[in-house]
Amino acid sequence: MKHILIVDDDERIRLLLSEELTDEGYEVKTAADAMEALKIIEQQEPLDLVVLDIRMPGMTGVELLPRIIGLRENLPVILNTAYTQYKQDFMTWAANAYIVKSSDLSELKQKIKELIE
């Protein structure tokens, strides 16, 4: 059983992703902001992948990304955002993938599969 952390300020997105990924057979945790996510990561609970939103109140995904890498260097992170322009921010290059949000989750699922199986 692989563990995935979903970080997104949009409750409905968190719900959609967790339900879909649970259906795919993953153990899903969610965090509504960066601080919550950091807490979960710091607790050293089993975690195989993070799906990270960028625009959030408080710390953004781009700011959170280096701290995640700092805490767990080998933890794969997929940036999942409504914005395309962050692709130009070289900080986002540190992520394992950059996926633009879509109701069609097959691209996300495909990337997750590539990264943790």
Residues that bind other proteins (CB under 8 A): 10, 12-13, 15-17, 19-20, 82-85, 87-88, 90, 100-105
How far apart are CB 101 and other proteins at their closest, in Å?
4
- Of 108, 5, 7, 4, the C-alpha closest to 54 is 7
Residue 101 CA to residue 53 CA, distance in Å, equals 9
How far apart are CB 71 and other proteins at their closest, in Å?
27
Smaller CB distance to other proteins: residue 26 or 41? 26
How far apart are CB 100 and other proteins at their closest, in Å?
8
Residue 70 CA to residue 72 CA, distance in Å, equals 6
Structure tokens belonging to residue 78: 């997929």
